[in-house]
Amino acid sequence: MSEPATPEPTSTFKPYIADDQKVAELTPKAILIGTFFGILFGASTVYLALRAGLTVSASIPIAVLAISLLKKLGGSTILENNIVQTIGSAGESIAAGVVFTLPGFLFLASDKGTGASVGAPYFSYWTIFTLALLGGVLGVLMMIPLRRALIVKEHDTLPYPEGTACASVLIAGEKGGSLARIAYGGLGVGLVYAFLQQIVKLISETPGWVSSAKSKIFPAATVDANITPEYLGVGYILGIRNAGLLVAGGVLAWLGLIPLLASLVGGDAIYEQLMKLGYKPAKFGWDAATHSFGALNRAVYFAYVRQIGAGAVAAGGFITLIKTIPTIASAFKGAVGSMKGGRGGAAPTQRRTERDLPLSVVIGGAIGLIVVVALLPFIPGSSVGGKLLLGLLMVAFGFFFVTVSSRIVGIIGSSSNPISGMTIAALMATCLIFVGVGWTGDMYQPMALCVGGMVCIAAANAGATSQDLKTGFLVGATPRAQQLGLLVGAIAAAFAIGLTIKILDRPTAEMVSQGVQHAIGGEKFSAPQGTLMATLIKGLLARNLDWQFVLVGVFLAITMELCGVRALAFAVGAYLPLSTTLPIFVGGVVRYLADRSNERARKAKGVAAAKPHTAEEEELGPGNLFSTGLVAGGALAGVLVAFLLSAADALKEGGSPGLDNALGAIKLEEPLTHALGQGGYDLLGVGLFAVMAVMLYRIGTRDRGQA
């Protein structure tokens, strides 16, 4: 097959599959495989976003894998491959929207009777499932009338970069075999490495160094790293610039702020602050006799630095929103104008490539969403009237930000979509409305989070939906078939995402012994965006924040912007543990070294060969594809291990300790630590992580003709 030609003007544009061709498209095979990839990448996104607050785009990797897999299952058409990536990409986008907001239920104001968050009862499977499903469906429905306006009418002005690149992958399908092998190779390496690390315990999970808490020069300074395949892969995909911003925030927090606060603040003051925030000081090794902490670095981090980081992230998101207000305003104005000019989805055409789901489905779906929100008992709200207002806000804000999200990703791509800024804006507007009607009590905080969560999920899914529809427009897909596929993907993703979150949230036996009820919110699954959303809601409705710490973070973000640095990435790094951002930075360094090596190789072949690769070619580079596999493999292994350990605990409690004993028998951590010492065991892990990094470098520098 030939490469796609430069797009012609919309009036004369001819898709790859002509309008009058009848080609298999929404087939059972495509639906099942698309659903499988949606669940796979949805679960992986949940795991990665809870740990690091980051996601990676799934459309192009799914397209590559779909071509390979369907060839082995008897072959497929390009439109079937497109349906697979369309359904599969919904899992990743909806998962991102869910994880960035709904864990905030656990961090709202504390109930005076139980001490738990007032939102904790709503952090249930059915609430998560319902909000994920409704938000995902809302994002798809609102894009139905916008498709002709944004995808068709503005084909020449809105490139939708990921959608265009994905169309190129599908059209150049003969490349799929070799490209897919690289992605599957990364998946396999990630799974094997994670198995050796999390089950066999051959590889130390978090090697590190902490200075003495009693040091008068540099107390409680920390350098550590979660040396996992998913973090290495994420860093390679992000590149050294973005990975460097993340680790810079972590360096400031763990080698600057924590040693400073440890020097200035006494143990009793830290104890009081932890109690005020709802943490148990015993978790950090509190010694009542000496008034000191065994883990002073972590105690200071949870008592003070997380609040500073939350303030920085909030300010960074708000600054991003302010900077994009002109784009948002013009995007909404342009989209509404295009709908008026092109009659949105109301064009009475019977051409295959212009058949959308009818507008009645959109209107009926929006009304149905409001009714469902009003009637379901596990949605926050004390009355049907209050829940009706909640549903109206969800639809109104959802339509506005879906429109904005679609147009923005059409210009700058999904990876640069300011979803967090839009969610912050929706939360602020919702809280102001709540204040206006007198809803300022703690019981209204979960309701505000529901609106923010729905907007975030809908906007995230709308961005991915827009890219999918652009891909379909270029390859000649039937819009109605894609829209039905997206709805299938939303349903499947909602089932898987809710289940994955609840599995990961189950505390270990050690956590339970310490009184911890939720694994999410701890060190492993810090859920940075969810914490931020809860912090904003509490600040706006309950007015009970420690503003002195939050404002330090706010002005830290402002300072970074004044220095010409994108504050949001730096702020996220300051909020996250250094153990998360440091291995991501290693992946960025590997990408930098691979790119330099590739550049030298191209120059050695001649001036013409030294031409930089396009963004599309970078997406399809062997290093990027292998990294995507590492991310998916490592994250999938994390989910499977969490499920396995939960099953072992449940069986042990039921009097069947066989699985728990078997898992314990294959662990090598204790004998290796005994033989090598803790330092030697950590160095072994670092060495094996370095081997994986070298493997990634070698694949990243492979000649693309041999990939």
171, part of any domain: yes
Nearest-5° Cα angle at 420, 414 to 425:
125
- 385: domain range? 21-177+350-513
Q: What is the 3-class SS of 308-345, one letter each residue?
A: HHHHHHHHHHHHHHHHHHHHHHHHHHHHHHHHHHHCCC
> What DSSP line would sit under 98-111, residue for residue?
HHTTGGGGGGSPBP
Residues facing 270 on adjacent strands = none
In a domain, 99, yes or no: yes
Look at residue 16 and tell me if it is in a domain. no
The C-alpha atoms of residue 454 and residue 446 are separated, in whole angstroms, by 12
Q: Is residue 679 part of a domain?
A: no
Would you list the DSSP string of 219-276?
TT-EEE----HHHHHHHHHHHHHHHHHHHHHHHHIIIIIHHHHHHHS-HHHHHHHHHH
Output the CA–CA distances (angstroms, integers) from residue 526 to 73, 180, 194, in the order listed: 40, 33, 20
Q: Provide the b/e sequence for 514-546 (b: ≥16 CB within 10 Å).
A: eebebbbbbbbbbbbbbbbbbbbbbbbbbeebb
Q: Kindly state the DSSP code that residue 117 receives in the 8-state scheme.
A: B
Give the count of domains, the chain: 1
Asked if residue 383 lies in contact with residue 129, where contact means CB atoms within 8 angstroms, the answer is: no
Burial class (CB in 10 A: 0-12, 13-18, 19+), 266: exposed
Q: What pLDDT shows up at residue 411?
A: 62
Among candidate residues 327, 317, 322, the one with its CA nearest the CA of residue 408: 327
In this structure, how many other beta carbons lie within 10 angstroms of the beta carbon of residue 248? 18
Beta carbons within 8 Å of 250's beta carbon, 6+ residues apart: 573, 574, 576, 577, 578, 580, 581, 582
Q: Is residue 449 part of a domain?
A: yes
Q: Return the amino acid letter for 483.
A: Q
Q: Is residue 547 part of a domain?
A: no
Q: How far apart are CA 326 and CA 521, in angstroms?
A: 35
Report whether 420 contacts 528 (CB < 8 A).
Answer: no
pLDDT, position 280: 78
Single out the residue of 537, 546, 544 nearest to residue 445, CA to CA.
537
Residues 6+ apart with CB under 8 A from 15: 353, 473, 474, 475, 476, 477
Per-10-residue mean pLDDT for the chain, 707 residues long?
40 77 90 91 83 69 80 84 91 88 88 78 92 93 83 76 74 59 84 91 91 90 92 86 90 95 93 80 88 92 86 78 67 58 48 84 91 89 86 88 76 61 78 86 90 89 88 90 94 91 84 80 78 82 76 92 86 85 93 91 66 54 83 77 75 77 87 92 94 95 65
Which residue matches tokens 């409680």? Answer: 220
591 located within any domain: no
Question: Is 304 part of any domain?
Answer: no
